[in-house]
Every structure is written in C-alpha cells, then in structure tokens.
C-alpha cells in the first residue's frame, strides 16, 4: 500500500474512533449527577390573541432565552399617536422586570426623538410612558413596534399574567386627546 493512502486510512480511522468516544460522553455532564442531565427551566411568554381595527398587542420577542422573556409591544391601526402611557402588572413571585428598549420604535421612525419613562413604582407594577418630542403625531398603519420590555425568571415553575391597565394613546391635538376605540391585549408568562 502506498504511504499516502495508508496515512489517509489512519486519519479516517482516527476520526471514527474519536466520534465513537465522543458520542457516549455527550450525556455525561460535570454536574456530579452521574451522567443524568437536568432539564432547563424554561420561561416562555404567550401573548393573548386579540383582533380589532385599533389594537395594542404583545409578542414574544427576539432575544428570549430560558431565563429571560422579551415582550415586544405593538400598535396596529392607530393614527396621529404622540404619546403612549400604560401600567403593566405581573406576579413578582414568577418574573421580575429587567430592562426596556425603544430602539426600532415606530414612534421615532421618522427621525423624531422620543422620551421613554419606565418605572417600577411598586412590586409587580411598571408605569410606562413614551412621548414623541415634537408637536406632530405619527400614524401606526399596519402593525408597528412600540417598545420591548425584558423580564427575568425568578421561580422554577408557575405562571403569571401580564396585564395592561391605565392605558392610553394620545394624539397630537392641543391639548393631546385620548384616542378612542383602542383595545389592549397582554399575555402570560409560563415557567416549566
């Protein structure tokens, strides 16, 4: 046999041997559990389905992991929005507020600056306000992102509803007026 062919056979045999050793070891963690893997505790966010001509809805967002839920808040079919304000309620035995993000918000899509205020005034309640800094409102034609809020899991199992209250979208009239007919839909955190 030629030396080059013999070397190739040895390399292939070496890879085969390495693969046969690696596969059985894949289930052996270093957690001291004797090779038994403990399943991860998973936090998921499930939005409530809602329909209507003018809505504020939530979705599970990009960046959600086993321990962090990114809740994206969307506005659909509402015209001349200057300000959004609402309270979010949740069970602090299940999840905790982590942070928020307004990058990509449709309120600023035309280059306007926005002023976000997010405060946890008491346990399990966030007060949220977003205002366009300028005299004009913006139309939410179709479904557009308002903001993202991240929550972290604090329990090993259970559920927590995420509900809106004291919610309002204001137009750019002087003084700003509440925009009628908007329906708001929250969701539920599930930990298992």
Q: Can you give the pTM of this predicted structure?
A: 0.80
Task: Report the first-to-last Cα separation within the chain, whole angstroms.
Answer: 59
pLDDT band at 37 (very low <50, low <70, confident <90, very high): low
**pLDDT tens digits for range 111-127:** 999 999 999 989 999 99
Residue 24 has pLDDT above 70, yes or no: no
Q: pLDDT tens-digit profile of 132-152?
A: 998 799 999 999 999 999 999
Q: What are the DSSP E strand ranges found in the chain?
A: 43-47, 55-60, 68-89, 95-101, 113-122, 125-133, 138-153, 158-171, 183-184, 187-191
pLDDT over threshold 80, residue 61: yes
In DSSP terms, 127 is beta-bridged to 87, 119
41 confidence band (pLDDT: 50, 70, 90): confident
Fold topology of 43-191: Immunoglobulin-like (2.60.40)
Mean pLDDT for the stretch of residues 1-27: 38
Instruction: Provide the pLDDT for residue 50.
Output: 86
Say yes or no to pLDDT of 32 above 50: no
Cα–Cα distance, 124 to 17 (Å, whole number): 55
pLDDT greater than 50 at residue 19: no
Q: Where are the domains of the chain?
A: 1-38, 43-191
Q: Which residue has the higher pLDDT, 9 or 56?
A: 56
Q: Which of 91, 95, 114 is CA-nearest to residue 104?
A: 114
Q: Say whether 119 sits in a helix, a strand or coil.
A: strand
- pLDDT value, residue 154: 96
Give the model confidence (pLDDT) of 177-190 as tens digits: 999 999 999 999 99
């Amino acid at each position: 046999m030629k030396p080059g062919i013999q070397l190739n056979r040895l390399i292939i045999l070496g890879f085969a041997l390495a693969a046969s050793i690696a596969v059985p070891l894949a289930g052996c963690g270093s957690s001291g559990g004797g090779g038994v893997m403990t399943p991860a505790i998973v936090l998921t966010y499930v939005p409530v389905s809602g329909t209507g001509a003018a809505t504020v809805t939530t979705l599970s967002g990009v960046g959600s992991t086993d321990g962090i839920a990114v809740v994206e808040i969307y506005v659909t079919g509402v015209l001349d929005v200057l300000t959004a304000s609402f309270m979010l309620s949740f069970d602090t035995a299940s999840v905790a507020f982590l942070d928020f993000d307004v990058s990509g918000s449709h309120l600023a899509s035309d280059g306007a600056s926005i002023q976000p205020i997010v405060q946890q005034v008491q346990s399990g309640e966030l007060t949220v306000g977003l205002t366009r800094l300028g005299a004009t409102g913006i139309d939410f034609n179709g479904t557009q992102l308002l903001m993202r809020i991240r929550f972290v899991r604090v329990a090993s199992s259970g559920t927590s509803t995420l509900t809106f209250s004291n919610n309002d979208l204001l137009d750019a009239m002087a003084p700003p007026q509440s925009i009628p007919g908007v329906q708001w839909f929250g969701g539920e955190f599930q930990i298992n």
